[in-house]
Amino acid sequence: MKTIAKGIRDSLESAVISVVIQNWDNNYESLRQGYSGGYDLDESSDNWAMDVDEGAVYNNLGNALGLLNFGNKYVKFAGDDVEYYLYDLDVVVLNARFRGDESDLFKASAKITLEVPFKFGWGHVPNIIVPLRLTAKFTPKF
């Protein structure tokens, strides 16, 4: 169980980090000009608008872990048996405030539910359900 959870957490972490990396160009220009976060000037209205890409975390997870989509759950099979289910993915991308200070960070948080069918000897016991959470932050190098 720990091995499954760690593998999924590592894959989720990779997928969420890729969301933050996908937003580097939105953030870099802002940081270089002296304001923070992913913003872009809307020239038609002369206002600043948030420019954030939430990525494709489920796709990245599915490709990394070999998952199949069944309705609202992603399923990993071991032969003919279900190894685990993943569902209720929630990715929240938090943009730094416009013209914030050093304490404002661009970050992405994710949570997902892992459900592992548990078989013991002659029968089934209730499935093990584990919520997994993590956060990735954008840190400028310069």
Q: What is the pLDDT of residues 58-85, one digit of tens each?
A: 888 888 899 999 888 999 998 888 999 9
pLDDT of residue 55: 66
pLDDT of residue 77: 92
Computed over every residue of the chain, the mean pLDDT equals 77
- % of the chain residues with pLDDT over 70: 67
Where residue 111 falls among pLDDT bands split at 50, 70, 90?
A: very high
Give the span between the Cα atoms of 25 and 108, in whole angstroms. Answer: 15
Provide the number of structural domains found in the chain.
1
Amino acid at site 115: E
pTM for this entry: 0.72
Domain that holds residue 104: 2-137
Residue 142 lies in a domain: no
Amino acid at site 88: D
State the average pLDDT over residues 113-117. 92
Beta strands in the chain (DSSP E): 39-42, 47-50, 68-70, 73-78, 81-94, 107-120, 123-137
For residue 3, give the H/E element and its range.
helix 2-22
Residues in the chain: 142
Assess whether pLDDT exceeds 80 at residue 5. Answer: yes
Specify whether the CB–CB gap between 70 and 81 falls below 8 A.
Answer: no
- Report residue 79 as tokens: 């032969």
Assess whether pLDDT exceeds 80 at residue 34. Answer: no
Assess whether pLDDT exceeds 70 at residue 39. Answer: no
